[in-house]
Amino acid sequence: MSELMLKSVYELLGKNYFIPSYQRGYRWEKRQVQDLLGDLYKFAKGKKESEDAFYCLQPIVVKKCDEKTIRENGLDSIMDNNVWYEVIDGQQRLTTLYVIFKYLIKKNNIDMRDDYKKDLFQIEYQTRVMNKDVINNPETIDRSSPNAFYITEAYRNISEWFDSFEKPKEVRNIIETLLLSDKSSNNDSGYVQVIWYETTDSDPIKIFTRLNIGKIPLRNAELIKALFLQKRDVNELSEIQQIQIAKEWDQIESVLQDKRVWAFLNSDVPNVPTHIEFIFDVIFKVEVEKEKLGKSEFDEKYGTDEYASFRFFSEKFENATREKIKEQWAVVREYYETFIEWYNNPLLYHYIGFLIYCKEPIINIYNLYKDKNKSEFLESLIDTIRKKLKVTLTVSGEIERNGIPIIYDNKTKETLKQLLILYNIEYIVQKNKSNDKSYIIFPFDLFKSEKWDIEHVDSFTTNPLVDKSQQREWLKTAIDDLNVFGVDYEASNILTPLEIQAIKSFLGEVDRDSSFDDIKSSVSKLAGEYLPSEEILKDIKNTIGNLTLLNADINRGYGNSIFPSKKKEITKKDAEGRFIPICTKNVFLKNFTGLNNTTINWSQDDMLKYRQNIIEVIKKFLIVES
């Protein structure tokens, strides 16, 4: 069984480390070496908020060498009964620490045995491409091999870093105290720990490959799993507990891997290999929020890297008993069951899903949930959505945010998008309530997998067509689509003979005089989209009554098409299985009560009726002026 714990650097002393040949040699350069020293010094000099403050290095992954490995590689040490650890990951950090110690021992005249009751640790390289004296005496630059050069160069960079201070001896003393202290030292500088992951896996090369191809680090979930499953005592009850936790762990991971569940719980659907880590992160954030730590206190206690949540759980597992492990696992299950309860409840699913889409932190939602019954929680969610939107329905019936009318422009585009998403969600919620025999949900997984535009139902002048072939294609498509609805431009009494002739000439590629804009206006008039004063009516076209959500690629694919062409394209994409929001489909199919029954245009009256429907559906989420 693998073992995982936090160890102080002091606890790494007096041990033997073996660097196998499947690893590349030591390659840290000046920046990396001096950055490490800089971080250690900054931590040691910083104000400590607690007595046991520590600086944490990233994981060192090891496997205890078997007798065969020790024998075949001639590993021999008087330390630690000749026990050797094969270093699977972390040799760059470990070697750098070794060279720093070599420098401090020489410069500060340290006698490890007398001064600290420990020997320095030992490092052996399987490759044998480097003289053993180099690692033991790295003061002189050695170019006999890449390993030798980088190790001796690291020593020079360490010396250069200390010598850059006005009082280098004082700085050496600070770093010495920091590295050679542990939790029991209680010194003002704090101490340094590493995440020690000791595996019993029979194939360390497989672990090394996974960790280093593409530099895949050990994830928090893997480290926390080791905390739950490592052996602490040998008895039947402990083994049964481990088996049970391992089984439930896999079940939870399997459910969270479902793309619908994952998209519901995350605003940006992160592509990470282990989804159960999400639960540990939420537990960590909720619990740490209770501690009310300042930033500096938080940084000192949990660190600033990606392993903060692991350190939180590591603290929980200090001297853990079987009952303590059971208790901690029950907390994990409680959070998981809460999230699945939300997912399986239609109302909670839609309202929480919307808030998460709007980037409301899930810990805020969890804190709302605690200590409330379902109806209280539901009211809290509605109130939170209302506060999130900050949209007012005025006495005159306008919708505004911070006193600014919500129309199609850059300032309010994001609010418009949120309102249209909420409209689709609440429309589904109300339909489910009114119809026992149907149950539909808003598919957050499909929605979050695509980019979305706010589309004008009745075309607004965007994406102008300048290429003649594109212009003719637009005109031909528009004429064909109008024919489907029984509108023949040649027999029309809406267009003048000159307009009809201009269209014919343009389609026949013989037109020399008419501009495409004039011809486009004629076709729009034929489709019922022509309105006498575009300047007056552009404000109407930019209000929510003429806007809907549409996949970005579909929207940009049909440009400024007339309403029948848009309807045909959306119907086609829907038949192909593309996700089209339900209210977008209803707009182009004209399924809303009160819309005019003509199928070829989207009139000003349609815009007003559609806007009225949107407001009626989402009204409970708006701040209503009295």
Instruction: Provide the phi-psi class of 217: left if phi over 0, else alpha when psi is between -120 and 50, else beta.
Output: beta
Report which secondary-structure segment, H or E, holds 88: strand 84-89
Q: How far apart are CA 98 and CA 104, in angstroms?
A: 10
Task: Please count the residues of the chain.
Answer: 626
> Exposed/middle/buried for 549, CB within 10 Å: 0-12, 13-18, 19+?
buried
**CA 349 to chain centroid:** 20
What pLDDT score does 533 carry?
A: 46
Tokens of 268: 């940006």
What pLDDT score does 536 carry?
A: 46
Phi and psi at 493, nearest 5°, equal -100, 10
Residue given tokens 């890297």 in the structure block: 305
Name the CA radius of gyration of the chain, rounded: 34
Q: Name which of 490, 465, 266 is nearest 365 in CA terms.
A: 266
Q: How far apart are CA 414 and CA 420, in angstroms?
A: 10
Domain boundaries, the chain: 3-218, 236-344, 390-626
| pLDDT tens profile 305-327 | 888 898 899 888 877 788 889 99
Q: Name which of 418, 392, 411, 414 is nearest 403 in CA terms.
A: 392
Phi and psi at 551, nearest 5°, equal -55, 135
Q: Are 143 and 160 in contact (CB under 8 A)?
A: no
Phi and psi at 18, nearest 5°, equal -115, 120
The single-letter code of the amino acid at 48 is K
Say whether pTM exceeds 0.85. Answer: no
What pLDDT score does 467 carry?
A: 67
What pLDDT score does 468 carry?
A: 72
Contacts of 444 (CB under 8 A, 6+ apart): 260, 263, 264, 353, 357
Q: How far apart are CA 547 and CA 607, in angstroms?
A: 9
What pLDDT score does 92 carry?
A: 93
* Residues 27-44: b if buried by 16+ CB within 10 A, e if exposed: ebeeeebbebbeebbebb
Contacts of 26 (CB under 8 A, 6+ apart): 91, 92, 95, 147, 150, 151, 154
The helix-helix angle for 236-256 and 220-229 (nearest 10°) equals 150
Instruction: Provide the phi-psi class of 109: left if phi over 0, else alpha when psi is between -120 and 50, else beta.
Output: left
What pLDDT score does 156 carry?
A: 96
Q: Are 620 and 382 in contact (CB under 8 A)?
A: yes
Spell out, as residue ranges, where the chain has pLDDT lower than 70. 1-2, 47-52, 127-131, 214-216, 231-234, 437-438, 459-467, 470, 485, 509-514, 528-539, 555-560, 593-601
Tokens of 102: 């070599």
Q: How far apart are CA 281 and CA 309, in angstroms?
A: 6
Query: What is residue 217's DSSP assignment?
Result: P
Tokens of 328: 């901690």
Cα 66 to Cα 82, 84, 88, distances in angstroms: 11, 8, 14
Contacts of 562 (CB under 8 A, 6+ apart): 459, 478, 481, 482, 523, 524, 527, 529, 601
| pLDDT tens profile 162-185 | 999 999 999 999 999 999 998 887
End-to-end CA distance of the chain: 67
Maximum C-alpha span of the chain:
109
What pLDDT score does 270 carry?
A: 84
What pLDDT score does 282 carry?
A: 96
Phi and psi at 549, nearest 5°, equal -90, 140
